[in-house]
Amino acid sequence: MEYGDDLKSMAKLPGQLEQKRFLSTLESAFRDGKTYLVAVAIYFGSRFVVLLAIKFAGIYLPLWKGQFWRYGSSWYDHLLEWDSQWYLHIAAQGYYYDGNGSRLQPVAFFPLYPLLARFVAWVAGVSPGAALLIVANVAAVLAVLLLCRLLRQSRGDEIALLSVALLSFYPGSLFLSAGYSEALALALILGFFILLGDGRYISASLCAGLAAATRPVGIVLAAVLLWELWLKFRADRRQFVGYAIPCTVIASSGLWIYAAYLAVAFGSPLAFIHAQRAFNANAPLGDRLVSALTLQPFRQLSFAAATPADLDQWFFILFLGLTVLAWRRLSASLALFMLGVLLLPYLALSGGPHKLLSMTRFALLAFPALIVLAELSRRAWWLGVIIVGLFAAILGLHSALFAQGYWVG
């Protein structure tokens, strides 16, 4: 009898192990799903701040007298201000360029975001303006999920959710909901780092190429990719070259394909660079670059005022400081990316008359800075509360001013 009982027990054992494995998987999936739901809930909480600010601004804050463009009268049209008009024009009518770099023209804006909006408008049968907002807001939610995914395995749920909260309430996150390309670019950038961490270099290169077709700063990912490939294959130079050449071509494809289009369509492959002159009060690129390299923007810091434009300079300086901490606390690839994201617009734009204007928005893509803040906040919870609360207050202010045309972002 005892021998027979042992056989029965052994027969049940595989089924019990399978049941335990299934329950463990189910429990893990539930825990993962709960974390992602919390992340999305945090993000939607920040969007409530944005929408509430827009609502109050519409009641108590008159439209800026100098505002020259308004898409429509619906509440969500307040999210289609300023640069959104250029993306809207591209989505509805395409590009034009007459070779005059002193005139504002849409070729300064990269194509993936408005072209994707055009496709959504065609498929869903909605207006181009609505399509711009659909693409941006879907990409924003995807970016939140990808940030959570990127950090959960390496740094745990706590850091993942803290980083999501800091990203969601960061004042520049307004542009994750507006008709701007930041949300799509951020989602592609985060996808790139996830694929890179998994060793899927070709797929990561494709994400980088799409990011470069969305915003010019996406080209920084090509440098990050080369760095990672060198770390992986430096012992085998031939294998490094075998990966580096095709990956670099793919990772930079968004930039050179757009340049090729401009060459064919308008005879000027660098039209997107020439067109930036008009957006910088006709200051030539060479002059802007020299001014930036000689640190002229830092010699004209405003210490007295506290307008959104003045806050741009302080967020830029804050993120530069966090870059130093990122070299110590995060991977070299994340720190390198963060530095490139900050330096590219600084060198290309900040030497012009607008100085450090819009740096709050540009710094949004430098997401590793928010991970550093999350790491610091984990050790001092009160610091995280203060930062998120301050971010939320400025986010509300920026949203109200942007909605009524007072702030370009």
Count of structural domains, the chain: 1
Burial tier of 105 (Cβ tally within 10 Å: 0-12, 13-18, 19+): buried
Asked if residue 51 belongs to a domain, the reply is yes
Asked if residue 20 belongs to a domain, the reply is no
Asked if residue 408 belongs to a domain, the reply is no
pLDDT of residue 91: 95
**Structure-token match 């945090």, residue found:** 42
| Structure-token pair, residue 383 | 């610091």
At residue 4, does pLDDT exceed 80?
no
Domain that holds residue 91: 47-403
Burial tier of 29 (Cβ tally within 10 Å: 0-12, 13-18, 19+): exposed
Asked if residue 11 belongs to a domain, the reply is no
26 confidence band (pLDDT: 50, 70, 90): very low
Asked if residue 271 belongs to a domain, the reply is yes
For 72, phi then psi, to 5°, come to -160, -170
pLDDT of residue 25: 47
State pLDDT tens for residues 196-254.
999 999 999 999 999 999 999 999 999 999 999 999 998 888 999 999 999 999 999 99
pLDDT of residue 143: 98
Distance, in Å, from the CA atom of 60 to the CA atom of 392, rounded to the nearest integer, reads: 20
Distance, in Å, from the CA atom of 226 to the CA atom of 134, rounded to the nearest integer, reads: 34
Output the average pLDDT for the chain: 89
Total residues found in the chain within this entry: 409
Handedness of CA 112, 115, 117, 120 (dihedral sign): negative
State pLDDT tens for residues 83-124.
999 999 999 999 999 988 889 999 999 999 999 999 999 999
Asked if residue 36 belongs to a domain, the reply is no
The answer, as to whether pTM is greater than 0.85, is yes
Of 272, 409, 295, 301, the closest CA to residue 343 belongs to: 295
- Which contacts of 114-123 are long-range, i.e. CB under 8 A and separated by 24 or more positions? 114/87, 114/88, 114/90, 115/90, 115/91, 116/184, 117/87, 117/91, 118/90, 118/91, 118/92, 121/91
Asked if residue 3 belongs to a domain, the reply is no
pLDDT of residue 10: 52
**Are 341 and 219 spatial neighbours (Cβ–Cβ below 8 Å)?**
no
At residue 130, does pLDDT exceed 60?
yes
Specify the DSSP class assigned to residue 105: -
Asked if residue 37 belongs to a domain, the reply is no
Q: What percent of the chain has pLDDT over 70?
A: 89
Distance, in Å, from the CA atom of 385 to the CA atom of 379, rounded to the nearest integer, reads: 12
